[in-house]
Structures are given as C-alpha cells and as structure tokens.
Amino acid sequence: MVVFWIIAVCLFIAAMLFVLPPLLSRKVADKVIEHNELNVSVYKDQLAELERDNEMGAITPDYYEKTKHEIERRLLQDVQEANQDDGEQARTTTGPGGRPLVIVLAVVIPLFSVLLYMDLGSPAAVTGDEPAVVAVPAAGGIPAGGGASGEHPDTGDQVEAMVQQLELRMEEQPDDLEGWLMLARTYRFQQRHADAVRAFEKAMPLVNTNPQFLADFADTLAMATNGNLDGRPIRLIRQALELDPDNVQSLWLTGTYDFERGDYEEALSSWRRLRNVVEPDSQDANAMNTNIAEVEARLRAAGRAIPPEDEIITVSSVKGPTFVTGTVRVDPVYQEKTAPTDTVFIYARAANGPRMPLAMLKKQVQDLPFEFTLDEKMAMMSGMSLADYPQIVVSARISKSGNAMAQSGDFEGRTAVIDVGMIGLDININNEVP
C-alpha cells in the first residue's frame, strides 16, 4: 500500500512540473517567428504556385488575376489583425491572479483524483483486502438440478435486442416452429425458464424428434420448478435417451435424478456411460470421475456391491468424418454490388431437420475466394453439429447489414444435398435473396 501512494505522489509532482511553471511565469514568451513574417511566407508560396499554374496554362488569365488580388487582399487583412492581437498580448501577463489559481489547482487536482479513484477504481486491491474468486461445487460433486446446462454469461444489449426481434417475428409468424425453438433456447440463455417453457411448448413437433431439444426442454422444466426432475422432465429425458443413448445432457440428468432418489446403481451406469462418451481429461470427464467416486463411496458405506464396469461402445467411437471442406467465391456479376467489408456467412444446415446452422464461419468479401473447413467443433448449439446429421446443405451468403438472418438484397450460393465428409466443395455466390 505504501509503495502505491509513493508512486502516486511522484506522478502528481511530475504532472505539476508541467502545468504550474507556465502559470507562474509573468513574461510573455519570445516568438521564434514573427506572425507577420509567417503570414507573408505562406502567401508568397500561394502566389508562386499561382504563377506556375498561369505559366503552364493550367488556369485562365481571368482566374489568375482574380485569385492574385484575393491573396493580396487576405494578406493585408491578416497582417493588420495580427498587429492588433500582438499589441494586446504584449500588454497581458499572468498577473496577481496567477498564484491563487496555482494554489487551487495544486489542491483540487489531487483531491479530485483520490475521490475519483475511490469511486471507480479498486481501493481494495491496494490494501490487499480484495476477495479471491472461489468456485463452489455442488455437494459431493453432483450437479444440482440441471446438471450440464450450466450458467451463461450475460451479453447485455445485443442479446436483448435479438430477443425483442425474435418476439416480434413470432407475433407475426406464430406457425414458425423453428422460430419458437430459437426463442426458447435464447430464453434459456437468459435463464428466463418460465418463458422458455412456453416457447418450447409451441415447438413440440420439432422437439419430439430431437434428443438434444428434449434434454433442453426437460432441463428447462426442472429449472422452472427449483430443479425438480420428477414427472414430465424425467419422461422427456428417457425419451431423448431412446433416440440417442449417448446424449450427454440426458445421461447427466438421468444420473442426477437416480442419485437424488438413492438409486446409486442406475446413477453409476449413466455416469460411467457418459464418461466414455465425452473426451478424456475434459471438464465433463473430470466431473464424472468425481461423481462416480462419490456414488461408489455411498454404495460401499451402505454395504452394497459396486457393479462391474462393462465395456461400452459408443456411437461417437465409431462415427465417420464430421467435417466438410471447400472454396467460396463470388460471381463477377455480384462482385461489383458488394463492398470489401461486407460480411460473408459460410454455414451448414441439416438436409432433413431444423434450419438452424450446424456449423458456421464468418468472413468478409475481401477474403474471397476463401478455402473453408466446417466441422463439429463449430457447432452453435449442443446436439446440433455435423456429427448429428449425415446429410447437409452448405451455403454462403453476403450480408451488407451483418445480420445472421437472411434479408432481401443479400447474395447467396449453396450446394445440393451432400454427405458429411465431402471435400473440395465449390460454392459460387450467384443469387440475390428476393
């Protein structure tokens, strides 16, 4: 703390050495170049340039004469005004009011700086009293309520503006199932669970066929009722596992449900399978190791046998390629209608399924032609990646507004329906969105 204040005082003194001497001085600084001489020099240059243009025939004689008279007139006027200003300045000094001003500045500046720092700065960091950030896990390492859903950071006005835009769109298009689904997942992002439940209900024809959407809906229902997975949430989770036995969120939630009910063998089976599905040494894998150890400890304490771990062959361990590659270019006809900084979206959608992108890249027109790779790691939402849909359509769209939603006047190009794993795609942007 002492070192901080010593440094602050030294910086203040250094600042005062720049500010106060001019205020204390009672002499007018000598001019290196007289004002009149400077004016004359500038106008001479202008006259010389005018003479050169006249000799080269670049201007008409009439224009030459008028401009020359104007320069001479301005020169005479500026010299007269400068003489008056210099006379006034020669009679002006700092005067007796300078020293009180110096005293006021010397007191006000440091006082204001300290008060401002106390209000906007981090005084606790100086005193060493600033608290450390501590992550507090759920008891026993078991995820409370929603399990894998997690907390999302608030992104402020940008998310709120998107939500309002979606809400207005759904008022105008209440039959847009994908719009309701997007709104539901956005509400989840904002932890507006009751609103998310209502939006999920509107999109049930899509939710019922997608294991990840079912898991999201179940988690949202539970969070809207203080983490209670009984009833409809657990039925949705089991429905999701029938569609995809390796769905990470469903395995996590069903394990949580069984653990809270004391069905430790069932919880152990779900979490062991989940551990085999996720990447080794990942955060989820480490969490599962902790949860499994807790379950095994409780089984031993209750005198119950720990079931042996059978080898589990997961879907993820035998799946094929989960990427596509290619080149995006813009047709010369549309090149002239774009700006170098216009946004280019490159994305893949399921050929049969929700229209939300499975993977997306964002570039600019100046980057084209661009060789791209889309893979499952670019998924925008959990359970919606190139690993989940075998056939896709890859598109590229130029947006002047930078809006991720297609708008009239955008330019786009797309492939036919292709299999995930194809390489060397050629996408030509040659169509205007009506």
pLDDT in tens, 347-365: 999 888 777 888 999 999 9
d(CA 251, CA 277): 10
**Dihedral, 138, 141, 147, 149 alpha carbons, nearest 10:** 70
Please name which of 276, 279, 254 lies closest in space to residue 267, comparing C-alpha atoms. 254
Would you tell me the crossing angle of helices 232-243 and 211-224 to the nearest 10 degrees?
Answer: 160
**pLDDT surpasses 70 at 189:** yes
Strand 418-419 relative to strand 391-399: parallel, antiparallel, unpaired?
A: antiparallel
pLDDT in tens, 313-322: 444 444 456 7
Mean per-residue pLDDT, 127-144: 38
Distances (CA, A) of 422 to 27, 56, 326, 373, 394: 81, 66, 9, 10, 11
**pLDDT surpasses 60 at 95:** no
**pLDDT surpasses 70 at 63:** no
DSSP string spanning 134-165? ---PPGGGPPPTTGGG------THHHHHHHHH
Strand 391-399 relative to strand 431-432: parallel, antiparallel, unpaired?
A: unpaired
Does this model's pTM top 0.85? no
Tokens for 202, please give them: 């509107």
Collapsed DSSP state (helix, strand, coil) of residue 347: strand
Burial of residue 77, with CB atoms counted within 10 A of its CB: 0-12 exposed, 13-18 middle, 19 or more buried: exposed
User: Quick check: 253 and 215 in contact, CB under 8 A?
Assistant: yes
Mean per-residue pLDDT, 218-232: 90
d(CA 401, CA 378): 23
E strand or H helix that includes residue 88: helix 61-90
Distances (CA, A) of 168 to 174, 187, 225, 345, 359: 10, 14, 28, 24, 26
pLDDT in tens, 39-49: 556 566 667 76
Tokens for 384, please give them: 């919606």
Task: Decide which of 387 and 296 is more confident.
Answer: 296
At residue 163, the pLDDT reads: 81
d(CA 186, CA 169): 14
pLDDT band at 97 (very low <50, low <70, confident <90, very high): very low
Burial of residue 135, with CB atoms counted within 10 A of its CB: 0-12 exposed, 13-18 middle, 19 or more buried: exposed
Domains, the chain, in order of start with CATH, read 2-109 (no CATH), 157-315 (1.25.40.10), 320-432 (2.60.40.1120)
Task: Decide which of 134 and 302 is more confident.
Answer: 302
At residue 424, the pLDDT reads: 85
d(CA 298, CA 266): 13
Percent of the chain residues past pLDDT 90, beyond the cut: 25
In this structure, the number of other CB atoms found within 10 A of the CB of residue 35 comes to 16
d(CA 179, CA 356): 9
d(CA 220, CA 215): 9
pLDDT band at 23 (very low <50, low <70, confident <90, very high): low
Site of tokens 């003489």: 83
Collapsed DSSP state (helix, strand, coil) of residue 319: coil
Please name which of 137, 163, 133 lies closest in space to residue 151, comparing C-alpha atoms. 137
Distances (CA, A) of 363 to 345, 370, 419: 6, 9, 24
At residue 311, the pLDDT reads: 46
Mean pLDDT of the chain: 76
User: Quick check: 284 and 148 in contact, CB under 8 A?
Assistant: yes
